[in-house]
Amino acid sequence: MYQSFIGLEVHIHLLTKTKVFCACRSAFGDEPNTNVCPVCMGYPGVLPSLNLEAMRMGCTVARALNCRIPEKTWFERKQYFYPDMPKNYQISQFGSPLGQEGYVMLEGRNIKKQVRIKECHLEEDAGKMIHTGTVSLLDYNRAGVSLLEIVTEPDMETGEEAELFIQQLRRTVRYLGVCDGNMEEGSLRADANVSINLPGKGLGKKVEIKNLNSSRFVRLGLNYEIKRQGDLLDQAKTVTQETRLWNENRDQTEPMRTKENAQDYRYFPEPDLPVFTPDKAFLTSVEAALVELPAPRMKRFEQDYGLNREQAELICDEKALADYFEEAVAAAKAQGLDTRDGAGRIANWVLTDIKHILGREGLSSIGSFRLKPQWLATLVVMVARGQVSMKNGKQAMDRVIAEDREPEALIREAGWEQLSDPVQIGKVVEAVYRAEAAVFVQAQAARAEGNQKRQRSLSAYLVGRVLEQTGGRADPKIVGAQIELLIQTP
């Protein structure tokens, strides 16, 4: 068998309001060629100036990936010609990128390994080419948009690991609020490099799969390549060093261009941009932007709230959801519920009913959800205390959302408070006892015969009748005990 090596180059669009070296609006989906100016159109003689917000966001990602921010960082011109790049060079970083020598821990099902980050560098995106029939159209709205490239060392071995890397990174940059992570719109895209070799022989000849716009394609493309390259070596053939593309209709990679040698981009320092020396205030603002990241947060949720791995992962997938959860847990605790008890209950509500409602209402994030975390806490506490049945509690939640009002009064007005007074329940049980005398006799007979299954189903029926009579308000535990007593002692 062969050893495989995978290194990723991931590009993310930073959520800066303006482009990286000019004041043009940075937005997806605007009318083509409306967000352009002489700077990003590459007119001669204009001066780029650095968007400090882009630098800060880039450095924040670098720090989240455990990279070192160098004392000085600067920009180079990377020269090449392509119609989507009107300057004929791209301003990028080469000699001293803003983030260097970091690492991340990949952690997932059956995967646990460290992946070294080679560097993070800030650059400008190119425009967009649209090919229609015999003409090609160019939209320069994207030219000059802030792009951060994250480059890993070739430390991954399988398509699954690379897929997990992309998923973790996507979650991280969304947590940091620096990228929307939308792979379909191209806000996060990856080039995947892969080679194989005999064990112990080091890196092989690398193939680059370009422009993967889904983490699934990253996995599929890489696993396809590992197999393809293995077949070639098995037949004593050699792997050509080249760039390939993933064809999602044929589920295979296909050659795009062969790169004999590394291209010579004639990098040289961008003369129009000064060297950037991060000062103390800048570095402090970077550290301040580092929120608790998804991985440690998941661990904390498991430890402090007693959630299982899957619950923690689902809740921590999105920062807003994790924040919402923690606010609800804190509110339930303030109302006297034990933290872990509350957390377990709230996790269940969030991951079933609330996810369902969000889906039904077409809300992609909990940010704009009308059910305040405090209100969810009140509902959960009332159920935990037996003040409202689970069923009525869930029904109340729908009304709370529809009417946008606090649950306690709503439950009282609707008459949904749980009935737990044994005397009051006893009266209803007695009425059912009279109306369903025949069933009681059958249940007693089943008990005498030792037919537990039949006895249970008959008593469940009787409990159901009592609940029905009380509009679902009677505490089923108390009802059950009273019915049982009547069956045992006729």
Q: Can you tell me which of 107, 153, 180, 353 binds ligand ADP, judged by CB under 6 A?
A: 153
Query: Does position 203 bind ligand ADP by CB under 6 A?
Result: yes
Q: Which does 253 bind (CB under 5 to 8 A by kind): Zn ion, ligand ADP, none?
A: none
Torsion sign (Cα): 100, 106, 111, 113:
positive
Query: Does position 294 bind ligand ADP by CB under 6 A?
Result: no
Q: Can you tell me which of 195, 215, 229, 243 binds ligand ADP, judged by CB under 6 A?
A: 195
Strands 242-247, 207-212: pairing is parallel
Query: Does position 7 bind ligand ADP by CB under 6 A?
Result: yes
- State the nearest-atom distance from the C-beta of 171 to ligand ADP, in Å: 20
Query: Does position 311 bind ligand ADP by CB under 6 A?
Result: no
Structure tokens belonging to residue 160: 């699954």
Query: Does position 93 bind ligand ADP by CB under 6 A?
Result: no
CB 118 within 8 A of CB 154: no
- Give residues 24-43 in contact with Zn ion (rule: CB under 5 A): 24, 37, 39-40
Neighbours of 375 (CB within 10 A): 22
Query: Does position 232 bind ligand ADP by CB under 6 A?
Result: no
Task: Give the span between the Cα atoms of 418 and 411, in whole angstroms.
Answer: 10
For residues 406-418, one letter each, b for 16 or more C-beta atoms within 10 angstroms of the residue's C-beta and e for the rest, the string is ebbebbeeeebbb
Residue type, 111: I
- State the nearest-atom distance from the C-beta of 138 to ligand ADP, in Å: 26
Considering the complex, state which of residue 37 and residue 295 has its C-beta at the smaller distance from Zn ion.
37
Closest-by-Cβ residue to ligand ADP is 7
Residue type, 84: D
Task: Give the span between the Cα atoms of 391 and 411, in whole angstroms.
Answer: 12
Task: Give the span between the Cα atoms of 142 and 185, in whole angstroms.
Answer: 12
Q: Phi and psi (nearest 5°) for 231? A: -60, -40
Q: Which does 22 bind (CB under 5 to 8 A by kind): ligand ADP, Zn ion, none?
A: Zn ion
Given the rule CB under 6 A, which of 56-64, 135-143, 201-209, 452-460 is the region that contacts ligand ADP? 201-209
- State the nearest-atom distance from the C-beta of 340 to ligand ADP, in Å: 43
What would the 3-class secondary structure string for 372-435 be? CHHHHHHHHHHHHCCCECHHHHHHHHHHHHHHCCCHHHHHHHHCCECECCHHHHHHHHHHHHHH
Q: Which does 5 bind (CB under 5 to 8 A by kind): ligand ADP, Zn ion, none?
A: ligand ADP
Task: Give the span between the Cα atoms of 388 and 399, in whole angstroms.
Answer: 14
- Give residues 242-271 in contact with ligand ADP (rule: CB under 6 A): 262
Query: Does position 290 bind Zn ion by CB under 5 A?
Result: no
- State the nearest-atom distance from the C-beta of 207 to ligand ADP, in Å: 8
Considering the complex, state which of residue 71 and residue 260 has its C-beta at the smaller distance from ligand ADP.
260
Query: Does position 10 bind ligand ADP by CB under 6 A?
Result: no
Torsion sign (Cα): 382, 388, 392, 396:
negative
Site for ligand ADP (CB under 6 A): how many residues? Answer: 15
Q: Can you tell me which of 152, 213, 214, 215 binds ligand ADP, judged by CB under 6 A?
A: 152
Residue numbers at the binding site for ligand ADP (CB under 6 A) = 5, 7-9, 151-154, 193-195, 203-204, 206, 262
Residue numbers at the binding site for Zn ion (CB under 5 A) = 22, 24, 37, 39-40
